[in-house]
Chain A
Amino acid sequence: MLLGLVLPTSGTVQLLGEPMPKGARRVLPRVGALIEGPAHYGHLSGRANLALMDAAGPGGSRRTRTARIDTVLEQVGLAGVGRKPVKAYSLGMRQRLGLGAALLRRPELLVLDEPTNGLDPQGIHEIRDLLLELHRGGTTVFLSSHLLAEVEQLCSRVGVLDRGRLVLQDQLATLTAPTGATVVETPDPQRVRAALDGRVLELDAGSAVVRGADPAEVNAALVAAGVPVTGLKLQRPSLEEVVLAAASTSADRVDAPGERSRR
Chain B
Amino acid sequence: MIAVELRKLFRRPRTWVTIALLNGLPVLVAVLLAVTDLAPRPGEGPAFLSAVLTNGTLYPLAALAIVLPLFLPIAVALIAGDSVAGEAQAGTLRYLLARPAGRTRLLVAKLVSILVFVLVTVVVVAVVGYLVGRLLFDVQPLGGTSVSGTDLSSTEIAWRTLLAVGYVAVSMLGVAAFALFFSTLTDSPLAAMLGALGILVASSLLFTLDAASSFAPYLPTRYWLAFVDLFREPILWRDVVRGLALQGVYVVVLLGAAWANFTTKDISS
Whether the pair B99, A53 counts as a contact (CB closer than 8 A) is yes
A123 to B181, CA, bound (A): 42
Residues of A within 8 A of B94 (CB): 3, 5, 35-36, 39
A67 in contact (CB, < 8 A) = no
A101 to B96, CA, bound (A): 11
Contact with A along B82-100 (1 / 0, CB 8 A): 0000000011101111111
Contact partner of B8 (CB less than 8 A), chosen from A25, A28, A36, A41, is A41
Contact partner of B4 (CB less than 8 A), chosen from A4, A25, A37, A55, is A55
Contact partner of B101 (CB less than 8 A), chosen from A6, A56, A101, is A56
A7 in contact (CB, < 8 A) = yes
Category for how many chain A residues contact B: 20 to 34
A242 in contact (CB, < 8 A) = no
Residues of A within 8 A of B99 (CB): 28-29, 53, 56-57
Measured CB to CB, the closest approach of chain A to B95, in angstroms, equals: 6
Task: Beyond A3-B97, A33-B95, A38-B91, list 7 extra A-B contacts (CB 8 Å).
Answer: A24-B100, A37-B91, A39-B94, A44-B11, A56-B101, A57-B101, A57-B102
Residues of A within 8 A of B92 (CB): 39-41
Whether the pair B11, A4 counts as a contact (CB closer than 8 A) is no
Contact with B along A44-68 (1 / 0, CB 8 A): 1000100011011110000000000
Also in contact, A28 and B90, with CB within 8 A (given A7-B266, A39-B95): no
Category for how many chain B residues contact A: 20 to 34
A157 in contact (CB, < 8 A) = no
- Chain A contacts to B: CB under 8 angstroms: 3-7, 24-25, 28-29, 31, 33, 35-44, 48, 52-53, 55-58, 101
Residues of A within 8 A of B266 (CB): 5-7
Residues of A within 8 A of B8 (CB): 41, 52
Residues of B within 8 A of A58 (CB): 100
Listed by A's residue number, 10 A-B pairs whose Cβ atoms lie within 8 Å are: A4-B100, A5-B94, A25-B100, A28-B100, A33-B95, A35-B94, A36-B94, A42-B90, A43-B11, A53-B95
Q: Which residues of B (140-184) have their CB < 8 Å from a CB of A?
A: none
Whether the pair B264, A7 counts as a contact (CB closer than 8 A) is yes
Q: Which residues of B (179-210) have their CB < 8 Å from a CB of A?
A: none
Measured CB to CB, the closest approach of chain A to B93, in angstroms, equals: 8
Beta-carbon nearest neighbor of A42 in chain B: B90
Residues of B within 8 A of A40 (CB): 90, 92
Whether the pair A3, B98 counts as a contact (CB closer than 8 A) is yes
Residues of A within 8 A of B98 (CB): 3-5, 28, 31, 33, 35
Residues of A within 8 A of B95 (CB): 33, 35, 39, 53, 101
For the complex of A and B, list the 6 residue pairs with the smallest distance between their C-beta atoms, beginning with the closest: A39-B91, A57-B99, A3-B98, A28-B100, A5-B267, A6-B266
Beta-carbon nearest neighbor of A43 in chain B: B12
B13 in contact (CB, < 8 A) = yes
Contact with A along B1-43 (1 / 0, CB 8 A): 1011001100111000000000000000000000000000000
B268 in contact (CB, < 8 A) = yes
Beta-carbon nearest neighbor of A105 in chain B: B99
A40 to B94, CA, bound (A): 11
Residues of B within 8 A of A42 (CB): 90
- Which residue of B96, B99, B264 has the most chain A CB atoms within 10 A of its CB atom? B99
Beta-carbon nearest neighbor of A101 in chain B: B95
Contact partner of B90 (CB less than 8 A), chosen from A24, A25, A41, A57, is A41
Residues of B within 8 A of A57 (CB): 96, 99-102
Whether the pair B100, A6 counts as a contact (CB closer than 8 A) is no
Contact partner of B97 (CB less than 8 A), chosen from A4, A44, A48, A52, is A4
Measured CB to CB, the closest approach of chain B to A18, in angstroms, equals: 12
